[in-house]
Chain A
Amino acid sequence: MKLPVSITVNGVTRTHEVEPRLLLVHYLRDVLGLTGTNIGCDTSQCGACTVILDGQAVKSCTVLAVQADGSNVLTVEGLAQNGQLHPLQEAFWEKHGLQCGFCTPGMIMTAYDLLQRNPRPTEAEIRHGLEGNLCRCTGYQNIVAAVQYAAARMGG
């Protein structure tokens, strides 16, 4: 049995028939071919698959595609506008906030959500705000610096 879903991803609305058990992350990656969103675990701990669903950061491995029916999803591929990197992308580059890059899309989307809610976070608030995202390369130091840099540039 398949169910129809209509989801707007990065501004484009598309309709597909999907299995009810299909995870949103697999819908994004396998159905739409948006492979920027990564999968790093199977228990919703790592946060690599974080996307913005109707304005809020979610781990797309904990959402079924059918639950996202009618929703708006923003993934890392939708951040840059008119060939201009988003300030968070610029910041991660500038501050060396990534090494292997695998956690990066999820980390950036979580930071996007954090800065929306709190445009001028303290270092402690940033560290707390990233608690749902694991990075094994950076020791988080330059990720924190990148979020601070982006916050300043975004006028927070």
Chain B
Amino acid sequence: MATKVIGTSIKRREDPRLITGEAKYLDDIQLPGMLHAAILRSPYAHARIKRINTEKAAALPGVVAVFTGADFKDLPPLPCAWQAGGVKNNVNTPRVLEIDKVTFTGAGVAVVVAENRYIAEDALGLIEVDYEPLPVVVDAEKATQPGAPQLHENAPNNICMDWSCGDAEATERALSQADVVVRQRLVNQRLIPTPIEPRGAIAQYFPATGEFTVWLTSQAPHVMRLLMTAFIFGIPETKMRVISPQVGGGFGSKIFLYPEYCLVAALARKLGRPVKWMETRKENYVATTHGRDHITEMEVGATRDGKITALKVKTYANLGGILSTIAPGIPTTLYGRMLSGAYRIPNIYCQVLGVYTNTGMVDAYRGAGRPEATYVVERAVDLVARELNLDPVEVRRKNFIPPEAFPYDPVGILAGLKYDSGDYEKTLNKALEMVDYAAFRREQAEARKQGRYLGIGFSSYVEICGVAPSAWIGLPNQGWGAGLWESANVRVHLTGKVVVTTGSQPHGQGHETTLAQIVADELGIPVEDVIVQHSDTLGTPFGYGTYGSRSAAVGGVAVYNSLQRIKEKARVLGAHLLEADPADVVFEGGKVYVKGAPDRAKTIQEIAAAAALAYNLPPGMEPFLDDTAYYDPPNCTFPFGTHIAIVEVEADTGQVHLRRYIAVDDVGRVINPMIVDGQVHGGIAQGVAQALWEGAVYDENGQLVTGTLTEYALPKAEFFPTFEVGRTETPSPVNPLGVKGAGETGTIAATPAVVNAVMDALAPFGIKHIDMPLTPERVWRAIQQAQGR
């Protein structure tokens, strides 16, 4: 019975509860006696809080309590768990409610707790706050200039940190010697992650034992417990249980510790009743983290024949008014260190200024640093091709890191790590074949004669996944204040049914299916015999959570390693039951058998029963097949691929139509192709959306103009063609599963592919660059300007 489930598209095991409405998301949980909280948020982007009057609100029937920041002075500000490595970080983080001052619109200043949410919302309108408005700055570059409003005393010129990587001198020298140098300012606009389920929290406090149970919409419940107990409440982690129920998407925004989570726990303790807070979408837009928001000055040098010789980057990374949990780590370790892209670039230097502005918090959003890096690199390659009148495909080929160069060290900027494996040209070739490049160029030339503007854009990316090596990312190297290993427990019960508990935290990815596929293959049992448990700190081993496409490459490998020890114990026990020498038996296809005599066998089910009943074990063997593994990989993994977008631009209106989209990704070994394709589709949609439609806009007063789904251009089904998805498979040598990670590739690749396609379409007008999103207005204006109108 040699099942091979890895590599097959089995249907998801989590779906029955989701398609029937049985799944319990956070807002579906009701506890007896539960109260409901609503939060009053600052309408000002920068202001001093002078006085708050809560009397009228407190007097409203049904209101149980009203609190302000002053009521929680005993709780410290939230921790910043990932600071930029190797440099001083001027850290300012939120409090559960702000006390003296707010630095962005939407910061919490008071809370109402009532018998139901309707009453709580009514009471918010009765709270009177006296603000003293202060001058506002929302642009990260302007915020660093003399005379700009100052947000925090400990951060002169609003600079949180000044970080760099690479060799400044060598890069300057190479630029001065280059045949051609292209300079471009690139704005990577702010995005709003927008999981369809907003955030929420429920807390219950048990005074007799001093214990909390907290339900959170979190991608990382163990980390939430660690941060809340150690840094906010000052209690041992054993005093708090954190549960992530069914989580409705996250895209990074649900990784972090938020003020409301700590507030709700504090309220439950103060009031002695369970308290729920569920975020509204409006709150989600102002108070949940945003992503991207870089202003970058890029200089790229090349030889006349298109060989890139140097890349110099200076980036202003907008971090918002106050720091989210891992904000400084994103535009440094996950951005600057990935600026070599898929290319052998001999000289690289990157400086990043992390800047406070009067805007919402910015932290990891799907891709987190790598989309920003890929945008810089892939635009640079295209700009070089345009400058030299070369085919962008040929410039990519000329600069690719060749397959024989792996493991590849991108001139030291990865601080000791190396790209694990890759065959970049293979994905490019496959994508070109799928698109029929020559035929497209002919069609494009024909169309231009008719006044129609077609364009093709390429993006050959590499990204960093399976983020771990604790010794690399932990202090002091990269500033992450902890490890990044993962764990798994595997138990084979008496009947041979298997329970896996994982510290990873699914929120749409399908861990219950893919981890079960690993177990099924290793133990030779049906997938149906495996269940995967997660999401509750009470019943699962510690894990750092699901983000950075790390659950297969780190969490999955923990499961695999645990299974190897289970199999070895089963083999020894099987030999005992067969009265054979352990040296003479093997575990294969779900049974232990004597080499050369496959009929002398014990199935894994028989062995599991023997291990559980335990009356006939070899001397010294403990009962049960049970193992817990902790896996800390030696390296990250580096998925790669080539995406191609084909667009048509209406010159009269500036409207961009996405005609075709081709993606060839290499995410290492694939556990479930259907799930990987789904991740790629969703990622592409988000990446295309940044290129064409989405953008969070703050006005000069720090008001979020795109504050609801009415204004923020989240894409709909009709915005997209059917994506054409291909794949190559280059197993990662980093881990025994050969997996790399597939959660973010689409988002990372798609944005520059689409922008490059639009610039290709607009080449006849001499247009080289337009900042995103490429809305009809922006494209139309660029065309008008190019035509001297």
Q: Which A residues are within 8 Å of any B CB, using their own CB?
A: 19, 21-22, 29-30, 33-43, 45-46, 48, 75-77, 79-80, 85, 89, 92-94, 96, 98-105, 108, 123-124, 126-128, 130-131, 133-144
**Interfacial chain A residues near B24, Cβ < 8 Å:** 35
Partner pick for B19 among A30, A102, A104, CB 8 A cutoff: A104
Closest residue of B by beta carbon distance from A125? B718
- B785 close to A (CB within 8 Å): no
Question: Are A134 and B27 closer than 8 Å at their CB atoms?
Answer: no
Whether A136 touches B282, Cβ cut-off 8 Å, given contacts A37-B21, A93-B15, A104-B18, is no
Question: Are B709 and A102 closer than 8 Å at their CB atoms?
Answer: no
Alpha-carbon separation in the docked complex, A79 to B19 (Å): 10
Shortest CB–CB separation between residue A127 and chain B, in angstroms?
4
For the complex with contacts A36-B22, A77-B20, 12 further pairs of A-B residues with Cβ separation under 8 Å are A33-B30, A43-B708, A93-B15, A99-B249, A100-B247, A100-B249, A101-B19, A127-B717, A134-B714, A137-B508, A137-B682, A140-B717
Whether A136 touches B717, Cβ cut-off 8 Å, given contacts A45-B709, A80-B20, is no
Alpha-carbon separation in the docked complex, A37 to B681 (Å): 25
- B103 close to A (CB within 8 Å): no
Question: Are A99 and B508 closer than 8 Å at their CB atoms?
Answer: yes
Alpha-carbon separation in the docked complex, A51 to B272 (Å): 37
Question: Are B718 and A102 closer than 8 Å at their CB atoms?
Answer: no
**Interfacial chain A residues near B28, Cβ < 8 Å:** 29, 35
Partner pick for B194 among A36, A43, A131, A136, CB 8 A cutoff: A136
Shortest CB–CB separation between residue A55 and chain B, in angstroms?
20
Give the one of A33, A45, A100 with max B CB within 10 A. A100
Shortest CB–CB separation between residue A142 and chain B, in angstroms?
6
Shortest CB–CB separation between residue A59 and chain B, in angstroms?
12
Question: Are B198 and A139 closer than 8 Å at their CB atoms?
Answer: no
**Interfacial chain B residues near A39, Cβ < 8 Å:** 27
Question: Are B510 and A42 closer than 8 Å at their CB atoms?
Answer: no
Question: Are B686 and A136 closer than 8 Å at their CB atoms?
Answer: yes
Partner pick for A137 among B12, B249, B674, B710, CB 8 A cutoff: B249
**Interfacial chain B residues near A33, Cβ < 8 Å:** 30
- B88 close to A (CB within 8 Å): no
- B643 close to A (CB within 8 Å): no
- B280 close to A (CB within 8 Å): yes
Shortest CB–CB separation between residue A114 and chain B, in angstroms?
11
Whether A100 touches B722, Cβ cut-off 8 Å, given contacts A46-B709, A85-B19, A137-B249, is no
- B246 close to A (CB within 8 Å): yes
Question: Are A101 and B248 closer than 8 Å at their CB atoms?
Answer: yes
Per-position 1/0 for B590-616, Cβ under 8 A of A: 000000000000000000000000000
Question: Are A123 and B722 closer than 8 Å at their CB atoms?
Answer: yes
Question: Are B282 and A93 closer than 8 Å at their CB atoms?
Answer: no
Question: Are A96 and B281 closer than 8 Å at their CB atoms?
Answer: no
Question: Are A41 and B709 closer than 8 Å at their CB atoms?
Answer: yes
- B23 close to A (CB within 8 Å): yes
**Interfacial chain B residues near A37, Cβ < 8 Å:** 21
Whether A93 touches B681, Cβ cut-off 8 Å, given contacts A37-B21, A41-B708, is no
- B197 close to A (CB within 8 Å): yes
**Interfacial chain B residues near A46, Cβ < 8 Å:** 196, 281, 709
Alpha-carbon separation in the docked complex, A50 to B268 (Å): 33
Partner pick for B195 among A77, A89, A136, CB 8 A cutoff: A136
Whether A139 touches B720, Cβ cut-off 8 Å, given contacts A46-B709, A48-B196, A94-B11, is yes
Alpha-carbon separation in the docked complex, A141 to B682 (Å): 8
Whether A96 touches B714, Cβ cut-off 8 Å, given contacts A101-B18, A136-B249, A138-B681, is no
Partner pick for B678 among A41, A99, A131, CB 8 A cutoff: A99
**Interfacial chain B residues near A139, Cβ < 8 Å:** 681-686, 720, 723, 746
Q: Which B residues are within 8 Å of any A CB, using their own CB?
A: 11-12, 14-16, 18-25, 27-28, 30, 118, 194-198, 246-249, 251, 280-282, 507-510, 674-675, 677-679, 681-686, 708-710, 714, 716-718, 720, 722-723, 746
Alpha-carbon separation in the docked complex, A33 to B679 (Å): 32
In the assembled complex, 22 residue pairs joining A and B whose CB atoms fall closer than 8 Å, in A order, are A38-B197, A42-B708, A43-B281, A45-B709, A92-B15, A98-B19, A99-B249, A99-B679, A100-B248, A127-B716, A127-B717, A130-B716, A131-B716, A136-B251, A137-B508, A138-B678, A138-B681, A140-B681, A140-B720, A141-B681, A143-B717, A144-B722
Question: Are B21 and A35 closer than 8 Å at their CB atoms?
Answer: yes
Alpha-carbon separation in the docked complex, A126 to B722 (Å): 12
Question: Are A102 and B20 closer than 8 Å at their CB atoms?
Answer: no
Give the one of B19, B251, B714 with max A CB within 10 A. B19
Question: Are A141 and B709 closer than 8 Å at their CB atoms?
Answer: no
**Interfacial chain A residues near B118, Cβ < 8 Å:** 19, 21-22
Shortest CB–CB separation between residue A7 and chain B, in angstroms?
17
Whether A103 touches B20, Cβ cut-off 8 Å, given contacts A43-B709, A134-B716, A139-B685, is no
Partner pick for B720 among A79, A92, A141, CB 8 A cutoff: A141
Alpha-carbon separation in the docked complex, A74 to B776 (Å): 40
Question: Are A128 and B718 closer than 8 Å at their CB atoms?
Answer: yes
Alpha-carbon separation in the docked complex, A152 to B12 (Å): 22
Question: Are B716 and A141 closer than 8 Å at their CB atoms?
Answer: no
Whether A102 touches B21, Cβ cut-off 8 Å, given contacts A42-B280, A46-B196, A137-B508, is no
**Interfacial chain B residues near A124, Cβ < 8 Å:** 718
Closest residue of B by beta carbon distance from A86? B19
Partner pick for A142 among B20, B681, B709, B720, CB 8 A cutoff: B681
Partner pick for B23 among A30, A101, A123, A142, CB 8 A cutoff: A101
**Interfacial chain A residues near B196, Cβ < 8 Å:** 38, 40, 46, 48, 100, 102-103, 134-137
**Interfacial chain A residues near B248, Cβ < 8 Å:** 38, 40, 100-102
**Interfacial chain A residues near B25, Cβ < 8 Å:** 35, 38, 102
Closest residue of A by beta carbon distance from B687? A139
Whether A98 touches B21, Cβ cut-off 8 Å, given contacts A139-B723, A141-B722, A144-B717, is no
Alpha-carbon separation in the docked complex, A30 to B117 (Å): 11
Closest residue of A by beta carbon distance from B661? A139
Whether A96 touches B716, Cβ cut-off 8 Å, given contacts A36-B22, A40-B198, A135-B196, is no
Question: Are A100 and B709 closer than 8 Å at their CB atoms?
Answer: no
9 tightest A-B CB contacts, nearest first: A36-B21, A102-B248, A101-B18, A100-B508, A139-B685, A45-B709, A139-B681, A35-B28, A99-B508
Shortest CB–CB separation between residue A94 and chain B, in angstroms?
7
Closest residue of A by beta carbon distance from B21? A36
**Interfacial chain A residues near B682, Cβ < 8 Å:** 99, 136-139
Whether A140 touches B685, Cβ cut-off 8 Å, given contacts A100-B249, A101-B248, A127-B717, is yes
Alpha-carbon separation in the docked complex, A34 to B722 (Å): 34
**Interfacial chain B residues near A45, Cβ < 8 Å:** 708-710, 714
Alpha-carbon separation in the docked complex, A127 to B717 (Å): 5
Question: Are B714 and A136 closer than 8 Å at their CB atoms?
Answer: yes
Alpha-carbon separation in the docked complex, A43 to B507 (Å): 24
Shortest CB–CB separation between residue A26 and chain B, in angstroms?
8
Question: Are B281 and A142 closer than 8 Å at their CB atoms?
Answer: no
Alpha-carbon separation in the docked complex, A139 to B685 (Å): 5
Closest residue of B by beta carbon distance from A103? B196
Partner pick for B281 among A40, A98, A105, CB 8 A cutoff: A40
Shortest CB–CB separation between residue A3 and chain B, in angstroms?
15
